[in-house]
Amino acid sequence: MRIIILIVFFLYNCSVDDNKISKVDEYSKKGILLLGNGTEPSGIDPHIVTGVPEHKILLALLEGLVIFNPQDNGVLPGVASNWEISEDGLEYTFTFNKNARWTNGDNVLPSDFEYSWKRILSSELGAQYADMLYVIKNAENYHKGKINNFSEVGVSSTGNKLKVVLENPTPYFLNILTHYATWPVHPDTVEKHGGMLSRSNQWTKKENFVGNGPFVLESWEINKSLKVKRNELYWGNSKNKINGIEFIPIDNELTQDRLFRSGGIHLANTVPTEKIKGYRENRPDVLFEHNYFGTYYYRINTTKYPLNNISFRKALSLSIDRELLIKSILKGNQIASYSFTPPNPQGYDPKTQLEFNPKKAKLLLDNSGYDTESPPIELLYNTSEGHQKIAQAIQEMWKKYLGLNIVLTNVDWKVYLSRETQGEYDISRAGWIGDYPDPFTFLDMMVTDRGNNKTGWSSKEYDKFLKLASAKINNDSRYKLYEQAEKILIEELPIIPIYTYTRTYLLSQKVKNWQKNILDTNPYQFLSLE
Amino acid sequence: MIHAAPGGPFDAERVASPEILDKLNEAYDLDKPLYVQITKYLVSAAQGDFGPSFKYPGRSVAELIMSGLPTTIELAFYSILFAIFLGVSSGLLASLYPGKLLDVIPMSISLLGICIPSIILGPVLVLIFGIWYEILPVYGWGDNPGDKILPTITLGTAYAAIFARLTRGGMLEVLGQDFIRTARAKGLTEIRIVLVHALRAGILPVISFLGPAIAGLLAGSFVVETIFQINGVGRFYIQAAFNRDYTMILGTSILFTFMTLTFVLLSDILASFLNPTLRDSGGLE
């Protein structure tokens, strides 16, 4: 009995707080954001990392020439206080903010960007996002070793100006600059801790890190938390209302959900599908759902029979009831996709259609010459309950409307990627999130022989439209060419768009000025805590 | 074996060009024949260098393991203490009243404890103590007062249940033996008979099981570490396999193998120390 009394007394003393003040309440008062951030970041070197959790952290620690504007998906001055664009759209001259500083007190110089872009474009570093800079003159040639002299690449600095010469007029170049791959590193620090080309460089360690963002690295405990605090040297520090951020890696969405509900974090970056309905009904104040610049689609291996037949692929698409799928399976306010590029608030609106018409589908299938005795078609997806539910529903639709036998195969992530890249699949589920708000980030993927094409599909006309578009400085004429390219894509269907992603997450009402935008990016210096 | 599994450490949704993949493979010696890689690795491992992690550039496997190992060991230590305390005491109680309520209740609960996996027990405890009653934190390790209680209970419960059953069985066997009857005939108190004479022999099955139990706790901690968001080494063990982080897989496998063998050996030594029959046989039986 004594032991039981002792345990109860111990538990009582261990209770979170007598007045039930949650961690979120406590940290809100201190001006510290607590963010659930998915998996443990693989690193914080902007030229090496590739993931979303890493992006969220880099957004606090580093700053590029411009900042993403969360209100209109455009850009705001960052390290560059202003810029000039030549009439032909090929030359950008950035004037640097004289107050832009590194956390060690050094000024952020145009030459730092030269160094940084040389670094990411050096093939020895093995940067997977180097192609973000291919719009710069000769950047691709340098990266692929066709030229060895970096001075031939279209980047040069004089005084406090950085001049960038592009391969083609690229109206979305400023948007590209909001991507962390284009952000700078501190040259002396990188050189001191391993050199420009070392992947094992130690400059990102807490004791070595030098950044130029609104926050500075405070501590990093692996699989526990990464903390940043306000950077007093940041040029926009006076407007920053956040004192610090704690990024908590939580890869299990149920754990994250429990943590949010118990007041442990301001933001749970995902919501378990089965709980969305409950939140809609009981806590609509914390549930955020909005469009995301991403498309969920099925990738078709167009080199294999019977998928090499356009009529067969059309039949597949015509027999998918996207609206039903969203209503009954996804339940997350997704939007049915009728084009590869999601609806773009910048004005791009392709007039493509993907109707649901089982009768027409059956007719097309019958006319495609498909041998009904053929082996079943495999539908490949990476292990996930969500992917499985969609695959099962589509399998059922194809069976019901076309009489097709589809075999579902789920494999782990790496096996899935490997099989897709090797072309060892018939149909596979796929998803793509745009890197910047322009249709090119989607349409470029399907150009002949692009690494991310993976379908074996090629169209000279499609490639031609994209090439023609790259020469246009005017968005309207560029978008018209993109629309024509998109039309070819939807006509030939090497991919079958299913739905446009929705971002669904939980956000405490204590976080103010949060903007729902298609890239799901909110620079932290614009937020505040109540 | 992991090299034979489809997919590699650098496969990503955004496909890297063949030139970049070549550079990456070169940077991590993956362009060399497998026997060269293994030889190089073994030489380095013998010197305590388990190589760089493929998933976490700039960090070594040893550094990552060391970042989580103290927490995992601490979690296993508290869990085994909890399991021994709860398991042995309830097993002891049950053995003293065989067939009665004080036997049936703890043994039924222990059966339940064995049956409920930590992946179920953890969230249930979180729901009750963390969300409904809000008396215990639901995540972390050492960050908030009381945050070690639920993970310890979650991880230790199944072993407490096993220990209870082992203690009960061992004690029932011992309590019927001649030397206990002799002790009673000599007029020793029941408490002394049970705690000094009977328990020493009756607890032997528990001691023998301690080694595998500790090894199991360490290796199985990844579930609890994931549920409670604990930064232990167990999470690396699983993540490494999914990420095809070859060096991390080898590093964590070597670590857990070493710990399993060490704890099994230690429990054997302890058992032979407590049980003269094991010691006298000289290991020939």
User: Does the structure show a pLDDT above 70 at A199?
Assistant: yes
Q: Give B-chain residues touching A13 at CB under 8 angstroms.
A: 145-146
Q: Output the pLDDT for position B281.
A: 54
Cβ distance B231 to A224 less than 8 Å, yes or no, reads yes
Among candidates B23, B129, B131 on the partner chain, residue whose Cβ is nearest the Cβ of A126: B23
More confident residue, B19 or B128: B128
Q: What is the DSSP letter of B8?
A: -
Q: Distance (Å) from the C-alpha of residue A243 to the closest C-alpha of chain B?
A: 20
Using CB atoms within 10 Å of the CB of residue A30, give its burial: 0 to 12 exposed, 13 to 18 middle, 19+ buried. Answer: exposed
The residue of A27, A54, A128 whose CB has the most chain B CBs within 10 angstroms, and thus the best one to mutate to test that interface, is A128
Q: What's the whole-model pTM score?
A: 0.84
Pairing state of beta strands A377-382 and A406-411?
parallel
Calpha distance B14→A213 (Å, rounded):
26
What average pLDDT does the segment A346-361 reach? 87
What average pLDDT does the segment A386-403 reach? 93
Cβ distance B23 to A125 less than 8 Å, yes or no, reads yes
Q: Which of residues 108-127 of A touch B (CB under 8 A)?
A: 123-127
Lowest average pLDDT, out of A245-254, B228-237, B266-275, goes to: B266-275
Q: Give A-chain residues touching B24 at CB under 8 angstroms.
A: 126
Work out the angle at residue B234's Cα, subtended by the Cα atoms of residues B228 and B236, and round it to the nearest 5 degrees. 110
Q: What is the DSSP letter of A180?
A: G
B23 and A CB contact within 8 Å: yes
Calpha distance A342→A480 (Å, rounded):
16
CB of A218 closer than 8 Å to CB of A228: yes
**SS3 label, residue B111:** helix
* Structure tokens belonging to residue A410: 């789920």
Whether complex ipTM tops 0.85: no
Backbone angles phi, psi at B134, to 5 degrees: 50, 45
A129 and B CB contact within 8 Å: yes
Calpha distance A167→B103 (Å, rounded):
82
Q: Output the pLDDT for position A428.
A: 96
Q: What is the DSSP letter of B7?
A: S
Cβ distance A414 to B229 less than 8 Å, yes or no, reads no
B117 and A CB contact within 8 Å: no
- Give me the amino acid identity at A511: V
What average pLDDT does the segment B92-101 reach? 83
Structure confidence at residue B49 as a pLDDT band (50, 70, 90)? confident
Residues B155-199: tens digit of each pLDDT: 998 888 888 889 988 888 888 888 888 888 887 787 888 887 888
The residue of B30, B64, B229 whose CB has the most chain A CBs within 10 angstroms, and thus the best one to mutate to test that interface, is B229
In B, minimum Cα distance to A432 occurs at B13
Among candidates A20, A145, A223 on the partner chain, residue whose Cβ is nearest the Cβ of B134: A20
In A, minimum Cα distance to B20 occurs at A126
Beta bridge partners of A381: A410
User: Dihedral, CA atoms, B145, B148, B150, B152, nearest 10 degrees?
Assistant: -160
Beta bridge partners of A165: A91
Structure confidence at residue B279 as a pLDDT band (50, 70, 90)? low
More confident residue, B193 or A446: A446
